[in-house]
Amino acid sequence: MIQLDFHPSGRHFLQIPGPTPVPDRILRAMSYPTIDHRGPEFGALGRKVLADLKKIFKTEHPVIIYPASGTGAWEAALINTLSPDDRVLMFETGHFATLWRKMAQALGLEPEFLGLPGTEGWRRGVQADMIETHLRRDTGHAIKAVCVVHNETSTGVVSDIAAVRRAIDAAGHPALLLVDTISGLASADYRHDEWGVDVTVAGSQKGLMLPPGISFNALSPKAIAASANAKLPRSFWGWAEMLEANKTGYFPYTPSTNLLYGLSEALDMIQGEGLDNVFARHQRLAEATRRAVRAWGLQIQCADPAAYSPVLTGVMMPDGVDADAVRKLIYERFNLSLGQALGKIRGRMFRIGHLGDCNDLTLMATLAGCEMGLKLTGVTVAASGVAAALDFLAQP
């Protein structure tokens, strides 16, 4: 077998903002023998995960599971609801918002891309007022959908989806609201129904603690209705056959059975801990991380405290420091994977993931690895971030 564990000793720390470390319970569940996806056992599994998923998205409406990774679920959201040349309003919060726009263009849509100048928008969340203004001007309702990213994985910034909903409503605009919470689901509070989201896009390899390979569309009745008239050609991603087959727990084509085993286990784990406890844990670890960054005297990528992500924290490097060189040393010497900066800010920051199956000591190890790496690459730190995080986590 290919050598997948060349680290000479000890556990690898996978602290990128996804994929996240897959708990043993889930890896074991995934290694059960594959079953007939048309047999009775499978139906029971299908019904269970389809029902439990709704609780995670906080929705009463159907959630679609694709046997495809998260990028596919983006495509599915667009392709099921829109027609060629439709205009969609997107907001540049970071690299993944930019990639989504690129996909919209590739699919023959007409994205309008709002954003703050330069990299300013990569340090803040969606500006709902800009969306409202833009939609008000669209009196002909040429814009068919507003597409935003809930938790920007490239920056560590959370956008206020309820505010976006209010902006659309305030503009009296009928556009659909499509939201990517690929890295937010099950880590940051998310409310599909309450926030009036029409399609929520999510993936498996983040807060759900699974390997990558399956992804989700949570739907609203309005989105389902829109799909009846949407003209983009579709087959694999089509909701209609999925919804029909899902009624009895089955799928119209071969599902990713072993990942569904893992999903079942993940849903049990999350519900066992309690979704609110999961969120509180993420907030706690995020706060500890930010205290470390501040102690080091470094900048947090997210410039708006109200928009701090509970999922990951972007750590900006001082001018002249190559963030990727820091990451490389940390990887090679301390067996710790950190997320690289993507797109516009490549090389200027690194990302610490503190999501999924993570706890106080995993975080302390991660921060220690960062601090040692900063020292060894000659980045001057003001004080010990490890000490600051420890002080926070050791509060009674």
- Residues between 272 and 311 that touch a second copy (CB under 8 A): 272-273, 277-278, 281
Contact between 25 and a second copy by CB under 8 A: the answer reads yes
**DSSP classification of residue 121:** G
Contact between 319 and a second copy by CB under 8 A: the answer reads no
Q: How, if at all, do strands 199-203 and 176-180 pair?
A: parallel
Contact between 211 and a second copy by CB under 8 A: the answer reads yes
CB of 137 to a second copy, least distance (A): 27
Is-contact 345 98, C-beta < 8 A? no
Contact between 329 and a second copy by CB under 8 A: the answer reads no
- Single out the residue of 57, 66, 216, 239 in contact with a second copy (rule: CB under 8 A): 66
Contact between 259 and a second copy by CB under 8 A: the answer reads yes
Measured from the CB atom, is 142 or 376 closer to a second copy? 376
Measured from the CB atom, is 127 or 227 closer to a second copy? 227
Measured from the CB atom, is 33 or 117 closer to a second copy? 33
- Name the one range near a second copy by CB under 8 A: 57-65, 70-78, 173-181, 314-322: 70-78
Q: What is d(CA 238, CA 244) in angstroms, rounded to the nearest whole number?
A: 11
Binding to a second copy in span 105-164, by CB under 8 A: 106-108
- Name the one range near a second copy by CB under 8 A: 98-106, 141-149, 167-175, 315-323: 98-106
Per-residue tokens: 382 = 């003001």
Is-contact 251 44, C-beta < 8 A? no
- Single out the residue of 117, 235, 305, 320 in contact with a second copy (rule: CB under 8 A): 235
Is-contact 65 53, C-beta < 8 A? yes
Measured from the CB atom, is 119 or 335 closer to a second copy? 335
Size of the site for a second copy (CB under 8 A): 114
CB of 272 to a second copy, least distance (A): 8
C-alpha closest to that of 261 among 185, 200, 204, 184 = 204
CB of 319 to a second copy, least distance (A): 23
CB of 295 to a second copy, least distance (A): 12
Q: Which residues neighbour 170 within 8 Å (Cβ) at sequence distance 6 or greater?
A: 132
- Single out the residue of 36, 117, 229, 319 in contact with a second copy (rule: CB under 8 A): 36
Measured from the CB atom, is 29 or 135 closer to a second copy? 29
Chain-centre distance for alpha carbon 299: 22
Core vs surface per residue 44-78: b (16+ CB within 10 A) or e: ebbebbbebbbebbbbebbbbbbbbbbbbbbbbbb
- Tell the residue number behind the tokens 């897959």, with chain if given: 22
Q: What is d(CA 52, CA 360) in angstroms, rounded to the nearest whole number?
A: 28
With left for phi above 0 and alpha for psi between -120 and 50, is residue 211 left, alpha or beta?
Answer: beta
Contact between 320 and a second copy by CB under 8 A: the answer reads no
Binding to a second copy in span 332-351, by CB under 8 A: 333-337, 340
Contact between 48 and a second copy by CB under 8 A: the answer reads yes
Measured from the CB atom, is 193 or 357 closer to a second copy? 357
Is-contact 344 122, C-beta < 8 A? yes
Q: Which residues neighbour 44 within 8 Å (Cβ) at sequence distance 6 or greater?
A: 249
Measured from the CB atom, is 75 or 132 closer to a second copy? 75
Edge-to-edge strands, sheet with 299-300 = 299-300, 312-316, 349-353, 339-340
- Single out the residue of 23, 43, 343, 347 in contact with a second copy (rule: CB under 8 A): 23
Q: Torsions phi, psi of 54, nearest 5?
A: -55, -35
Is-contact 293 234, C-beta < 8 A? no
Contact between 229 and a second copy by CB under 8 A: the answer reads no
CB of 296 to a second copy, least distance (A): 13
- Name the one range near a second copy by CB under 8 A: 99-107, 191-199, 290-298, 344-352: 99-107
Contact between 19 and a second copy by CB under 8 A: the answer reads yes
Measured from the CB atom, is 80 or 127 closer to a second copy? 80
Q: What is d(CA 242, CA 238) in angstroms, rounded to the nearest whole number?
A: 7
Q: Could you give the C-alpha distances from 193 to 61, 63, 149, 224, in angstroms and in order?
A: 8, 12, 17, 14
Measured from the CB atom, is 219 or 285 closer to a second copy? 285
Does residue 133 sit in helix, strand or coil?
helix
Per-residue tokens: 332 = 């090679």
- Single out the residue of 69, 119, 283, 299 in contact with a second copy (rule: CB under 8 A): 69
